[in-house]
Amino acid sequence: MATFLFDKIVFGPVKSRRLGVSLGINLLPATKKVCNFNCIYCECGWTRKLNNKTSDLPTREEVYKALEAKLSSMKVNHQRPDVITYAGNGEPTLHPEFPGIIEDSIKLRDKYFPGAKIAVLSNSTAITKPKVKEVLLKVDSNILKLDSAFDLTVKIHNQPRVNVKVAELIKNLQQFKGRLIIQTLFLRGTYKGKDIDNTTPDEINAWLKAIKMIKPSEVMIYTISRDTPEGGQLNKVPLKELRRIATLVNKLGIETQVSG
């Protein structure tokens, strides 16, 4: 299917379903995806090989220069971003200079657009690293993935290249003491001939228990909106059902954002 990669360090601004006018930052190569997950729904396609060679990555200085040039241009042209978003072609926290890059971004944001937010979209695998956790607590929107409360579902939907135990992940997410946003992608379909669905009653009940334990400041609920590596085998969850799930989260006293 027609999945895509971001071909620059800085891209956009674009209108994000969840974040508003978003200036995107890609800390990964422009020619391939680098991630320790291989999510079956990823718009960037499959992770063909996990390769963390630093020579393939933009340097901290290159990111700084690219971001400052873009923010300066936007300032001159009276274009204001709602958010500066770290996502791109894979998992941004895999960049070895990630903490320093975020510190730089905070300074540049404060210089050019102090009202804009800084967001990081992460698969949650690096939150046990002290420096990564420390800098994630400094950003405005620390958005961390939790697609299911079941190990098997995570294994199928996210195809992790690292050992992920959901019980341990929940404990690690609890350590943020509410200073995080949980994002969950709901889908249905088939994968390798087997039915998959993380919206069943068992799935939702277990996921809600996890949300109650983590106590995030917000939950972002969404579904697939672009082409995926699995193509037509994966299906969107109707907006009506996403809103029903959101109502259950709201009953926990947690703000919920829905993107259909």
| Digit-coded pLDDT (tens) for 152-174 | 999 999 999 999 999 999 999 99
What is the CB neighbour count within 10 angstroms for residue 126?
Answer: 19
Average pLDDT over residues 46-65: 80
Average pLDDT over residues 118-123: 97
Indicate whether 117 pLDDT > 80. Answer: yes
Does the CA dihedral 256-246-181-123 come out positive or negative?
A: negative
Q: What is the pLDDT of residue 122?
A: 97
Q: What is the pLDDT of residue 225?
A: 81
Average pLDDT over residues 67-85: 95
Position 1 confidence tier, pLDDT thresholds 50, 70, 90: very low
> Token pair of 162, please?
């690292």
Domain 10-259 class? alpha beta
From residue 146, alpha-carbon distances to 39, 66, 102, 168, 185 in Å are: 12, 31, 23, 12, 8
The answer to whether 124 touches 176, Cβ cutoff 8 Å, is: no
> What is the per-residue pLDDT across 202-257, written as a single tens digit (0 to 9) for each?
999 999 999 999 999 999 999 998 777 776 689 999 999 999 999 999 999 999 99
Q: How far apart are CA 205 and CA 84, in angstroms?
A: 34
Of 41-45, 113-117, 120-124, 187-191, least confident by mean pLDDT is 41-45
Give the pTM.
0.92
| Percent of the chain's residues with pLDDT above 90 | 77
Q: What is the pLDDT of residue 2?
A: 47
Q: What is the pLDDT of residue 175?
A: 97
Q: What is the mean pLDDT of the chain?
A: 92
Nearest to 121 by CA among 203, 200, 6: 6
| Percent of the chain's residues with pLDDT above 70 | 94
Indicate whether 141 pLDDT > 80. Answer: yes
Does the CA dihedral 110-5-125-151 come out positive or negative?
A: positive
Indicate whether 177 pLDDT > 50. Answer: yes
Indicate whether 104 pLDDT > 90. Answer: yes
Does the CA dihedral 105-110-112-118 come out positive or negative?
A: positive
